[in-house]
Amino acid sequence: MSKFIFVTGGVSSSLGKGLTASSLGRLLKLRGLRITMCKLDPYINVDPGTMNPGEHGEVFVTDDGGETDLDLGHYERFIDESLNRNSNTTTGSIYSSVIAKERRGDYLGKTVQVIPHVTDEIKERVRRLASDDLDVVIVEIGGTVGDIEIVPFVEAIRQFRRDVGRDNVCYVHLTLVPYLAPSGEQKTKPTQHSVTELRSRGIQPDVIVCRSDQPISEGLKRKISLLCDVPAQAVISAVDAPSIYEIPLAMHEEELDKIVCEMLRIDLADHEIDLSAWEALVDRVESLERSVRIGIIGKYVNMPDAYLSIVESLRHAGFHNSSQIEFDWIDAEMVPGEIGADRLERLDGIVIPGGFGERGIEGMIAAAGIARERGIPLLGICLGMQVMVVETARNVAKLDGANSTEFDRLSPHPVIDLMAEQIDVSDMGGTMRLGAYPAMLASGSQVASLYAAEVASERHRHRYEFNSRYKARIEDAGLVCSGTSPDGRLVEFVERPDHPFFVGTQAHPEFKSRPDRPHPLFRGLVEAALERAEGREPRLLDLDAVH
């Protein structure tokens, strides 16, 4: 049966709880343990699907179409396991279930209360993740202890240990140890307060992970140990790392994985750790000799977390090519006015990411045109692909007024349109095409050669599709449909064979890139961008070979 690790946070948000939990996950996996992860989010939205990425960061999509918190992206990238919609639970989804049960009469006339009904539902969601095939379930609780919404979650995880037994649960608490320059000291008081808050809810942490900008001395660890009643070796120093991928090694150095295993009575002798592959990755990350400049042209550029998986995917492709990625965040609304062709031409590559709504669309279309005309490598993702199609329709196929009906319902040439009749609506969670769908790749195409496969499965999250009525006219204009749904009706990939790299996908490939296994499309973009940066002859594909 699975054991459980609960990761809570105190003092402040954004301390890197998700990364700490993910790093621990990776270390346990490297010890040969079978693990999964999940996030409990105390906010009231039923899922993050409706949340503004400009405020909350990207919505991470799982294979089964779950719209989840971006921390699940860290989990998947670190532990390299595919998660699912059950890997993220919010207060809203808990209450939806509890209220549905109440309406069905499942509570047999009882008064429905936070304890036990809401807490039981939370525990059930966690318990559901466990199985005989998993050794450890790591559960991160979003927010910080002391938040009003977190109380039922803390209560539920407190009860959980009693339910499943002491040795099957470990509580890890993440806090901040600030350095106060005037006194020249690191301060433990916020940690003490945070642990006091946790204890007031009945949880005594087993491990305290202290985030700080400088290492925590042994003396300070002893102090925290004494005041917070944890063994000194269970006070872990988590110093800011130059790359997030170094965090597992730093946590291992501090013996986090060993201590957690000891607390869970997992026999370390049976689970020796082999860090060599991860160390090799970190060596690569630390010795990037080349550099490439990639522009991200979108509408949430002031909130880079809105494009977190894209950023990480580009970095992964960089690691593979020994290249740093310099990001140029370009507000689509500034193109082509303030940011014109000359500025874009200084980029080595461009990504036009996904998005919803009209703002910035014309700038993205202009950018796609500049990239097409000037041979700048471009990867269009979801909305980005749609924009590439609209641009070709308008400027090459001369279909005046071509647009997506998302932005112009009366467009004379709706090259991107709702294709609801083409998809199985019962499977879409409402009106969006969500989750993994296969695509057949045209032989001889650039995407087929990048994927080195005839079929690719990618995750989707969109309503609109390439309007196949325009397929012939768009292809005649040089933008080839190089991947379609197995029935041939939905266009999944487009590319321009007369261009160094002009590839669009209706899917979100960024969700499947891994630090040690970069996604082929991002690798393709970064390699084309490096060729441009280093002034080599761009590789052209033979148009006739693509069918």
Residues that bind ligand GLN (CB under 6 A): 354-356, 382-383, 406, 461-464
Q: Minimum distance between the CB of residue 406 and ligand GLN, rounded to whole angstroms?
A: 5
- Exactly one of 510, 519, 527, 531 is catalytic; name it: 510
- Exactly one of 170, 210, 228, 382 is catalytic; name it: 382
Q: Minimum distance between the CB of residue 355 and ligand GLN, rounded to whole angstroms?
A: 5
Buried b (16+ CB within 10 A) or exposed e, 61-72: bbbbbbbbbbbb
CA distance 522 to 400: 32
Say if CB 494 and CB 481 are below 8 A apart.
Answer: yes
Of 290 and 359, the one with the shorter C-beta distance to ligand GLN is 359
| Residue whose beta carbon is closest to ligand GLN | 354
Please state at what angle helix 383-395 crosses helix 361-374, rounded to 10 degrees: 70
**DSSP-assigned letters across all residues of 431-472:** TSEEEEEEEEEPTTSHHHHHHTSSEEEEEEEESEEE-GGGHH
Of 202 and 357, the one with the shorter C-beta distance to ligand GLN is 357
218 is annotated as an active-site residue = no
Backbone angles phi, psi at 398, to 5 degrees: 60, 40
Say if CB 454 and CB 471 are below 8 A apart.
Answer: no
Alpha-carbon torsion, ordered 40, 43, 45, 51, to 10 deg: -100
Question: C-alpha 9: how far from its chain's center?
Answer: 20
Backbone angles phi, psi at 436, to 5 degrees: -80, 135
Of 157 and 365, the one with the shorter C-beta distance to ligand GLN is 365
User: Within 13 Å and on the Cβ side, how many CA atoms surround 124?
Assistant: 10
Alpha-carbon torsion, ordered 188, 189, 192, 197, to 10 deg: -140
Q: Minimum distance between the CB of residue 356 and ligand GLN, rounded to whole angstroms?
A: 4
Of 9 and 360, the one with the shorter C-beta distance to ligand GLN is 360
Of 118 and 314, the one with the shorter C-beta distance to ligand GLN is 314
Q: Whose CA is closest to 335, among 366, 359, 357?
A: 366
Q: Minimum distance between the CB of residue 256 and ligand GLN, rounded to whole angstroms?
A: 36
Of 285 and 390, the one with the shorter C-beta distance to ligand GLN is 390
382 is annotated as an active-site residue = yes
DSSP state, 86? G
Q: Minimum distance between the CB of residue 394 and ligand GLN, rounded to whole angstroms?
A: 18
Structure token pair of residue 322 = 């020994």
Q: Minimum distance between the CB of residue 354 and ligand GLN, rounded to whole angstroms?
A: 3
- Exactly one of 495, 508, 527, 531 is catalytic; name it: 508
- 331 to 40, 136, 296, 364, 378: CA distances (angstroms): 33, 43, 8, 9, 16
- 67 to 354, 383, 427, 475: CA distances (angstroms): 14, 17, 14, 33
Q: Minimum distance between the CB of residue 237 and ligand GLN, rounded to whole angstroms?
A: 40
Q: Minimum distance between the CB of residue 61 and ligand GLN, rounded to whole angstroms?
A: 9
Of 329 and 356, the one with the shorter C-beta distance to ligand GLN is 356
Of 134 and 418, the one with the shorter C-beta distance to ligand GLN is 418
CA angle 143, 58, 100 (to 5 degrees): 65
| Dihedral over Cα of 84, 88, 92, 98: its sign | positive
* Active-site amino acid positions: 382, 508, 510
